[in-house]
Amino acid sequence: MSNINTIIQIVKSRFLAGKKIVTVTIAIVVIAFTSQAQNAWLQKADFGGTAREGATGFSIGNSGYIGTGGDYPYSNDFWQYDLNSDSWTQKANVGPHGRIWAVGFSIGNKGYIGTGNGSGGVPKDFWEYDPSTNSWTQKADLAGAGRWAAVGFSIGNKGYIATGYKNQCCLINLNDLWEYDPSNDSWTKKANFAGTKRLSAVGLSIGDKGYVGLGSDCDYCVTDDFWEYDPGNDTWTRKADFAGGARENAVAFSIGANGYVGTGDYYDYYSSTVFNDFWKYNPVTDTWEQIADYGGGQRQQAVGFCIADKGYVGTGGSSRDFWEYTPDTSCTPLTASITPLGNLDICNTGFVKLQASSGNGYTYQWNRNNVDMPGQVYQTLKAKKPGNYRVRISTGPGCAAVSKKVVVYSSCKLNEKTELTSSLSIYPNPTTGTFTLDLQLDDEETSQAEVQIINLLGQTISIESGELKVENGRLVKEVKLGDGVAEGMYLVKVIINDKVFTSQINLQK
């Protein structure tokens, strides 16, 4: 603000010197503000309710809406943001009870909120908001199971709810998809989400397609996959993995022909991270570009939506701040790709050269297994270790693209099998007879798999598992031991072509 005052004083002091100087000075001020607004976050009026996480929202016309969520006891309050006055007004509460991690979207001039986690359990109720009367009307319950931490989006005159978590205490993730038709207040089961069952994913729509991705599909299993849903054919297609890396509790919205995903958190057995980065998805080129970091800093469980040609994100964590994003319309689309200069097997040479695509003003940053490699900022990289390699190309702030991964491997190092074996997880362990087998490969292989359960005498016992298939490098399957299997330790062996993965399971009845 002090810079603005200084410029105003200069204008006033020169007024008597001639109108021409004043006109030129004002033009410079306008140009400066216009330039700063591109690819930038601008803080707006704080959310009108209390600070909270796990809220939900949507937009209708020139207004945005955020409600529910918060610390226990959960809230059912509901607030409207007016774009023109940059102000919040409290509206009618959502239903009779508070809830957290609900789903929200809008269809035409009505808004919808449903599901979530509340004091009375995991609800499947569904409510319609009419801003003209400031009233909520209960509609048909979701036809599928009650759930929380699901995703919702709308395409045309239909709404969609998918994935989520259907219990308050136990790991029961979902992958079903339901379509809501407001014209007859009915739900229709559609093709299951093609990724793994999960919660805390993101959902959005771009044009006539829906998108679901990221999230958590087991304890300490956070994902980065991204899928497109075509309602016309009722089919799912896997798209380019989210370039920002695996995470859950992120936020997403769309502006025009592009999608935007950012913030969220990542965790595993050893570490946890909360993010503030943001990425733009181009569905035509199936590519991701990094844009300006979220203005509110690191954030998880926030709410996002679009009004006209701008995005809005607020709340999350213990915050109530609210930010507006203006996209950069001047950034030239980039193409990021990697060309291997030789065989990707580093067994004989000890390395493989990877070359990134070139262009005027390109700068580079290589990463391995989603971690930036210090000092590796040139077009060509000498990869000396097995892993998943990507390159991020940039021509300036907010103008960046990330390549699809290239898998470098070694066929002659014994420790490669150890690395692969360590990616096999089994839970719960100990088990009473039924457990989930979760295998993550270092590549995107799709093939059949065989599972063997072997006792301490070396005998193979029978199991119930159905068809076992690795899809895009991931195998998640529920396995049931027979009723006659005795308590004790067993070896679990997964065989995929010439690869063998092992772990142990403790059976306790």
Find, among 175, 114, 119, the residue nearest to 148 by Cα.
Answer: 114
Paired strand residues for 69: 75
Which structure tokens are listed for 490? 């067993």
Instruction: Report the CATH number of the 415-507 domain.
Output: 2.60.40.350
* Tens of each residue's pLDDT in the chain, 509 residues: 333 333 223 223 322 233 332 222 223 233 333 344 689 999 999 999 999 999 999 999 999 999 999 988 899 999 999 999 999 999 999 999 999 999 999 999 999 999 999 876 788 999 999 999 999 999 999 999 999 999 999 999 999 999 999 876 666 899 999 999 999 999 999 999 999 999 999 999 998 899 999 999 987 899 999 999 999 999 999 999 999 999 999 999 999 889 999 999 998 888 899 999 999 999 888 999 999 999 999 999 999 999 988 999 999 999 999 999 999 877 667 789 999 999 899 988 889 999 999 887 788 999 998 788 988 989 999 999 999 999 999 876 667 888 989 999 988 753 443 333 346 888 888 888 888 888 877 665 677 888 888 887 778 887 876 668 777 677 888 888 887 888 888 888 888 876 788 888 888 87
Which structure tokens are listed for 247? 């995470």
Q: Domain extents for the chain?
A: 2-37, 40-326, 338-408, 415-507
Architecture of the domain whose range is 338-408: Sandwich (2.60)
Residue 454 to residues 43, 424, 457, 503, 504, Cα–Cα distance (Å)? 60, 16, 8, 11, 10
Evaluate whether 40-326 and 415-507 have a shared fold: no
d(CA 68, CA 199): 18
Q: Note the pLDDT of residue 13.
A: 32
Which secondary structure element, helix H or strand E, spans residue 25, and what is its range?
A: helix 19-37
- Pick left, alpha or beta for residue 163 (phi over 0 → left; psi -120 to 50 → alpha; otherwise beta): left
Classify domain 40-326 at the CATH topology level. Neuraminidase (2.120.10)
Question: Is the CB of residue 370 less than 8 Å from the CB of residue 348?
Answer: no
d(CA 124, CA 138): 11
Q: Note the pLDDT of residue 279.
A: 97
Please state whether the peptide bond connecting residue 428 to the residue before it is cis, i.e. omega within 30 degrees of 0. Answer: yes
Strands (E), 342-497: 352-356, 363-368, 371-372, 380-383, 387-396, 399-402, 406-408, 424-427, 434-440, 447-448, 450-454, 460-461, 463-464, 469-470, 474-481, 488-496
Q: Note the pLDDT of residue 465.
A: 65
Q: Note the pLDDT of residue 170.
A: 65
Please state whether the peptide bond connecting residue 182 to the residue before it is cis, i.e. omega within 30 degrees of 0. Answer: no
Residue 314 to residues 74, 126, 471, 502, Cα–Cα distance (Å)? 18, 23, 36, 45
